[in-house]
Every structure is written in structure tokens, then in C-alpha cells.
Amino acid sequence: MAGGKERKTRASAAQRHQGGIQFQKSKGQHILKNPMLVQTIVQKAGIKSTDIVLEIGPGTGNLTMKLLEVAKKVIAVELDPRMVLELQRRVQGTSSAIRLQVIQGDVLKSELPYFDVCVANIPYQISSPLTFKLLSHRPIFRCAIIMFQREFAMRLVAKPGDNLYCRLSVNTQLLARVSHLLKVGKNNFRPPPKVDSSVVRIEPRNPLPPISFKEWDGMVRLCFNRKNKTLGAIFRQKAILSLLEKNYKTFQALQEAQQKSNESSFGDVSILGDTSNDVSMDIDAGEDQDMDVDDADMQEGASQFKDKVLNILKEGGFEDKRSSKLAQDDFLYLLSLFNKAGIHFN
């Protein structure tokens, strides 16, 4: 076959180029091998000659070498010591060596330095925590160009009414402008993953909306617990009403204590709970999850609180709406209505 010898030659060259490293799929090691695609990603990043670029998961350095051609400096974070050695070997003795800084370690546990642009081909299992780690980084960077598993990428950019529109979509788009750049077939990697990928551009918003993000996430978690149910049905559930009433009473008590002490030491009450690690705002799939509250079974105080919650939804025009159809501004308005009535979600 005409292609037989050619494939063998290419494979041998690739193996020499990468030091014969055995890639581990279990660790998400899928090296981008298409040089045209590498060049396209660098171009999409819009890197300036004065930019410091953070590269996450450089692997054997195919993308790193292209980044070094256009950036002032590249900071590469790599967990695998074999990849670190290969990366250092590739720049050894070149003018690029002094412009490459390699950090060996877990990017999720590492303190990230200052950078202008982030470029990453990451293990798909860290997609969500890495996205929000980047978005919480300060000072704010200009943009991130990241390779994600395609379904995850499409969730990031999904709009109200899309099938993949979810809590991830809402939270990410609250913090950043997100756009889909290109689809990448699995055969562009060595070894090929099981699914296709997509490259996404993330631009952090500056300034951010003046809200408590823990409260925001608490409300959004509840709304997307059953995203295709009406908000009226969701907020009639016994477990949710019970939780909100408990928060309501706690907040009232804090306000009273603060007024008596005449101090502001409590600050933003969102510091009292971190919903990223607290499952208290998640409703377990138990018998109470879809149990609506019957007024006849409620005590007078609980019934009044239920009316309070439902009146907020009615006044804002949200009672018959579904989370899957609501835009960013709708959720912000809904949160403001609840907070104005003294109802909080953290």
C-alpha cells in the first residue's frame, strides 16, 4: 500500500519528537497533533508581543512552541513529570528557553501567577472546577481559549430555550462572555479521545454584577433542580419552602442582632455559607422532592410564608415561567425581588 511506509515514517518521527512517551488516557492525556489546528488556536487567542500566556496541560509542547513564537513569556502548568522533562528538552539551547516557565503540579491546587491570556487543552474531568478557578482569578485576565469536551463546551455557550441550557450556562455567562470558536474532531489528537471537542473563548466580565454570588448560585440551584417545571411548582415544594423559611428566620435574627449592636460586623451574610461545597441547597431525590404543600396541612406561619413566596413570583411574572427559558437578567431580577422581601438562598 502506498500509505503503509508513509504512516510508519510519520509514527517514528512523532515518537522521536515526543521522546517515546506513553500517553495515559485515564489521566486525560490527549495530545493535539494537527499543526494547522495548533496554529489556528494561537491565532484565535489574539496574543500580543507583550503578553504573558498561561498554558494549562502543555503535554509535549506542540502548542507551547507556537505560543513562544508570539508571546513575551509562557507559563506552563503540567502535572506529569515526564511531560515536564520533554517540554524542557524541546526548548533547551534555544532562545525560547528563558521565556518559558514550567510549573509542575496540579493546576487546581496551584496558585496561579499573573497572566494576560490563558490557552489550554485540558483533561476533560477538570473542566468545571478549572473554568471557575480561572474566573475567580485576580487580577482579571483578558481572555482564555480552552479546549473542552464538545458537550461541555456547548453547555457553556447555551442560550435560554436550548436543550443544553443549564446551571453551568447561567453561572458561567454571569461571570464571562463565552463564545464557541471551532469544533475539533477526535482524530486530531494522539491518542484519540472517545468524543469530539470544541474550542471556546472566555472573556471575564469587568465589572461583575454587584450581587452575592453564593446567594445567586443558591437560587439558581433551586431553579434548575427541575428546569422544565414552572417556578410556581418548584417553589411550592415542601422541602424548598421549609429551607427558605429557615433562611428567612435566620436572616431576620441576624438583622435584629446587628441593629441592637449597632455594628456592621456581619457584612454580607453570604459569607455564612459556601454553596459550592454545601449540599444544603440541593434537594435530594426523596419523597419530599416533588411534594407540594397543602395549606390545610400547614401551620399558620408556614402558610403565610408560602403566600409570601408565591406572591413574589406572581408580582414579578415568574409563576408560570420555566428556568430553561429564563435569561440572565430574569434571574437577576428574581433574586432582587426575593432579597427585597428578606428571602435569601445561602
- Whether residue 79 is found in the same domain as residue 124: yes
- Whether residue 66 is found in the same domain as residue 92: yes
Annotate 285-341 with DSSP letters as a single string. SSTTTT-BPPGGGS-HHHHHHHHHHHHHHHHHT-TT-BGGG--HHHHHHHHHHHHHT
* Cα distances (angstroms) measured from residue 282 to each of 20, 69, 105, 149: 47, 48, 32, 26
- Whether residue 177 is found in the same domain as residue 106: yes
Domain that holds residue 325: 211-256+299-345
- Whether residue 35 is found in the same domain as residue 156: yes
- Whether residue 68 is found in the same domain as residue 181: yes
C-alpha cell at 42: 494561537
Give the domain-ending residue among 176, 208, 240. 208
Establish if 279 belongs to a structural domain.
no
- Whether residue 193 is found in the same domain as residue 216: no
Tell me the sheet residues that pair with 292: 237
How far apart CA 7 and CA 12 sit, in angstroms, is 9
Q: What is the pLDDT of residue 21?
A: 73
Each residue's pLDDT, cut to its tens digit, for the chain (346 residues) gives: 344 444 444 443 343 344 567 766 655 678 889 999 999 999 999 999 999 999 999 999 999 999 999 999 999 999 999 999 999 999 999 999 999 999 999 999 999 999 999 999 988 899 999 999 999 999 999 999 999 999 999 999 999 999 999 999 999 999 999 999 999 999 999 889 999 999 999 999 999 999 999 999 999 999 998 999 999 999 999 999 999 999 999 988 888 777 655 443 333 322 222 334 333 233 333 334 444 545 545 565 578 999 999 999 999 999 999 999 999 999 999 999 999 999 999 8
Question: Annotated binding site for S-adenosyl-L-methionine: which residue ranges?
Answer: 30, 32, 57, 78, 106, 121
C-alpha cell at 332: 437577576
- Interval 296-324: pLDDT, tens: 455 655 789 999 999 999 999 999 999 99
Q: What is the CATH number of the domain that holds 322?
A: 1.10.8.480
Q: What is the pLDDT of residue 27?
A: 58
Rg of the chain's alpha carbons, rounded to an integer?
25
Count CB neighbours of 270 within 10 A: 19
C-alpha cell at 6: 508513509
* Cα distances (angstroms) measured from residue 119 to each of 255, 268, 343: 45, 35, 41
Q: What is the CATH number of the domain that holds 138?
A: 3.40.50.150
Q: What is the pLDDT of residue 25?
A: 62
Establish if 273 belongs to a structural domain.
no
Question: Annotated binding site: which residue ranges?
Answer: 30, 32, 57, 78, 106, 121
Establish if 129 belongs to a structural domain.
yes
- Whether residue 194 is found in the same domain as residue 54: yes
Residue appearing with cell numbers 471557575: 132
Establish if 43 belongs to a structural domain.
yes
Q: What is the pLDDT of residue 256?
A: 74
- Whether residue 221 is found in the same domain as residue 323: yes
- Whether residue 221 is found in the same domain as residue 172: no
Establish if 271 belongs to a structural domain.
no
Domains held by the chain: number: 2
Q: pTM score, two decimals?
A: 0.81
Residues 6 or more apart whose CB falls under 8 angstroms from that of 55 comprise: 63, 64, 67, 74, 75, 76, 77, 118, 119, 120
Establish if 292 belongs to a structural domain.
no
- Whether residue 55 is found in the same domain as residue 197: yes
How far apart CA 101 and CA 80 sit, in angstroms, is 15
